[in-house]
Amino acid sequence: GQQVMQIPQYQHVQEGEDFTTYCNSSTTLSNIQWYKQRPGGHPVFLIQLVKSGEVKKQKRLTFQFGEAKKNSSLHITATQTTDVGTYFCAGDGGSNYKLTFGKGTLLTVNP
Amino acid sequence: GAVVSQHPSWVICKSGTSVKIECRSLDFQATTMFWYRQFPKQSLMLMATSNEGSKATYEQGVEKDKFLINHASLTLSTLTVTSAHPEDSSFYICSAMSSASSYEQYFGPGTRLTVT
């Protein structure tokens, strides 16, 4: 079945440093989505990438979808303490909108 | 908009009993709802896909007779954990998708189940 690998598992940064998490799917995806889960909370939708090579920005967050639609990345510029949480990528293989989640990257930010 | 609620938010039950968890879309009609399970500090594992008016589709390895799913209306899906055991203790999260949202899943706040 479809597998989605995500690295790193943990990332600790100083406030102001950049952060990147990477996602790789074993199969070509219809689209990929990114979610953020704060400690004790539930996943919150951040963005969806559909097109090959797509790049989208949300303020300090930059999302990329690979040309082969099998990998993706999330980059945060100049992290802030409010960025703390676990970032999940979730791949949609095109089968009834089912998402396969990566294991997530837990980001902690030292003020 | 796009709010999903879950009830209860947490529940403690004894082994052998059954627990029902409700997932409601409050301000939209959810043609499809998903049920996930999340262990501490781990990822979300899809358990089943629930479509209104039809039988749920379970993922491989998920016992359909143990985790009963009913999607009786466009705003409500329920997950019943039958004959619960301590290993069923987990965080259960539902998500809902509307026909108008184009892939985006809206997650409920989750239900923490502890089986003693």
Confidence of residue B1 (pLDDT cuts 50, 70, 90): low
Residue B44 β-bridge partners: B38
Q: What is the mean pLDDT of chain B?
A: 91
Contacts of B45 in chain A (CB under 8 A): 101
**CA A13 vs CA A9, A50, B1, B41, B61: distances in Å:** 13, 30, 34, 19, 38
Q: Is A68 inside a domain boundary?
A: yes
CATH number at residue A81: 2.60.40.10
Instruction: Return the pLDDT at B101.
Output: 65
B32 touches chain A (CB under 8 A): yes
Q: Is A88 inside a domain boundary?
A: yes
Q: Is A110 inside a domain boundary?
A: no
Could you count the other beta carbons within 10 Å of the beta carbon of residue A38?
12
Contacts of B49 in chain A (CB under 8 A): 96, 98
Q: Is A3 inside a domain boundary?
A: no
Within 59-88 of B, beta carbons closer than 8 Å to A belong to 60
Mean pLDDT across B16-31: 93
Number of domains in chain A: 1
Q: How far is B104 from chain A (nearest CA, A)?
A: 7
Residue A104 β-bridge partners: none
Q: What is the mean pLDDT of chain A?
A: 94
For residue range B49-70, list pLDDT tens digits in order: 998 888 899 999 999 999 999 9
Q: Domain of residue A22: give its range.
A: 16-50+57-92
Q: How far apart are CA A69 and CA A84, in angstroms?
A: 27
Q: Is A76 inside a domain boundary?
A: yes
Instruction: Return the pLDDT at B30.
Output: 87
**CA B63 vs CA A45, B70, B96: distances in Å:** 28, 15, 21
* Contact yes or no for A43 and B43 at CB 8 A: no
Q: Is A11 inside a domain boundary?
A: no
> H-type helices in chain B, by residue range?
none
Q: How far is A17 from chain B (nearest CA, A)?
A: 24
- Above 70 in pLDDT, residue A7? yes
Contacts of B57 in chain A (CB under 8 A): 96
